Amino acid sequence: MKKYILWFWSLLIFGTLCFAMLFVAADFGWLGKMPTVEDLQNPKSNLASVIYSSDGKTLGKYFYQNRTNAHYQDLSPHLMNALVATEDERYYDHPGIDFIGTLRAVAFLGSRGGGSTVTQQLAKMLFTERRSQNFAKAVVQKIKEYVISAKLERYFTKQEILAMYYNRFDFVNNAVGINSASSVYFNVSPDSLKIHQAAMLAGMAKNPALFNPIRRPDTVMHRRNVVFGQMLRNAFISQAEFDSLKQLPLDLDYQVVDHSEGIAPYFREALRANLKEILNAKKEGTEEYLVAKPNGDPYNVYSDGLKIYTTIDSRMQKYAEYAVERYLKEYLQADFAKKLKKRRNFPFASLSDEEVESVMNSARRRTGRYRVLTGKECSNCHRRGSYISKQEFNGRDYWICKAEECGEAEMKRCIPED
């Protein structure tokens, strides 16, 4: 009997040591590249460049991802309470890894919630790759996630981690980060979000494609009320507040975001071309850029978060655009319509059939339907690029979205390539 007990404790101690060594190996980068201290303190993000008028108003943005960072003090406290109550109840009590939550997730196979903390989710968004389907690789990714989470807790406060999470999260519909999400869905700044608005955004963290308020408002309403239930459970709201809040509508004020939205679109396009010339200009006789980052690389107008100040007065610009629109509609349009009657097949009368076809093809390639059918955009979550891959099934090619948060099989529907 003593022999078996000895073997048991020997195997337990050996297994524990091996498990601990995996964390040490991950920390030293032996299991794959790990972020440096500098990477942790300055994580890379694609930030939109913002164009300002002379009177301090935003004219528009240039972006790959419509993201501008917000500081913790610029966020509504309702955002913090809703996220902690829903995603990580013991957030303020653990060091980045919730061992109780992890054991619960293992014991119940995830049926009573996952074991990932807010810090772990942030680590995954910042530094780890999409979860591998290979078990061994997935275990290594999880270990690296634990190590990065512990380091994030070491270098940042709890409040800073929450702000980083919200700044990094993709709320879909061209709303990347909490600044954009607040503006796109409610047309307010993050510090002005009401509790029911904050609860909706926090609820999207579970699966932003599934809980898309534009496509599935009823599903999002139910999810938002689940968040209220969690806030009640964690004493962030009272029973009376819960009963009142769950009766409220979503209160959306959806703002479509696009490079062409806003005032002075033609000016902004001319400005973009001018900026690219300035940012790509080099010092005479050298390879050094006139305007460069500290490391010598040129700035990117779409991803480096530049603040561009112009001499355009937004009030005068609006008056000018209104005057042009009114004059065109009331005076020029009628005269233009008379002349059109005399010109057959306008505006293509002077074009050959090949030129007409080229114009039509160019217009077709700019549509969302074309992007979906050619695998450039997901029809469900509207993500683009590396998320979309081509797969063959029964002799046909299909486009499939691989974004983890794009939902279950129903959401990851295949779009046949025509």
Tokens at 213, concatenated: 């308020």
| Distance of alpha carbon 121 from alpha carbon 66, whole angstroms | 21
Q: Does residue 16 sit in the same domain as residue 115?
A: no
Using pLDDT thresholds of 50, 70 and 90, give the confidence band for residue 189.
Answer: very high
Q: Does residue 94 sit in the same domain as residue 26?
A: no
Using pLDDT thresholds of 50, 70 and 90, give the confidence band for residue 414.
Answer: very low
Q: What share of the chain is helix, strand, coil (3-state, %, to 5)?
A: 50, 10, 40
Q: Which of 245, 264, 291 is the last residue of a domain?
A: 245
Q: Does residue 175 sit in the same domain as residue 131?
A: yes
What residue numbers bound the domain in which 103 lies?
Answer: 67-245
Residue 139 lies in a domain: yes
Global pTM exceeds 0.75: no
Instruction: Give the CATH number of the domain where residue 161 resides.
Output: 1.10.3810.10
Residue 153 lies in a domain: yes
Q: What angle do CA 362, 366, 369 make, to 5 degrees?
A: 120
| Distance of alpha carbon 171 from alpha carbon 43, whole angstroms | 19
Indicate whether 5 pLDDT > 80.
Answer: no
Q: Does residue 75 sit in the same domain as residue 215?
A: yes
Q: Does residue 175 sit in the same domain as residue 227?
A: yes
Residue 11 lies in a domain: yes
pLDDT one-digit tens code per residue, 73-92: 999 999 999 999 999 899 99
Using pLDDT thresholds of 50, 70 and 90, give the confidence band for residue 126.
Answer: confident
pLDDT of residue 222: 95
Q: Does residue 87 sit in the same domain as residue 187?
A: yes
**What total number of domains does the chain contain?**
3
Residues 67/48, Cβ–Cβ less than 8 Å: yes
Q: Does residue 17 sit in the same domain as residue 97?
A: no
* Cα torsion through 348, 351, 352, 355, rounded to 10: -90
Residue 12 lies in a domain: yes
Using pLDDT thresholds of 50, 70 and 90, give the confidence band for residue 243.
Answer: very high
Q: Does residue 27 sit in the same domain as residue 134?
A: no
Distance, C-alpha 377 to centroid of its chain:
15
Residue 173 lies in a domain: yes
Residue among 143, 92, 144 at smallest CA distance from 117: 92
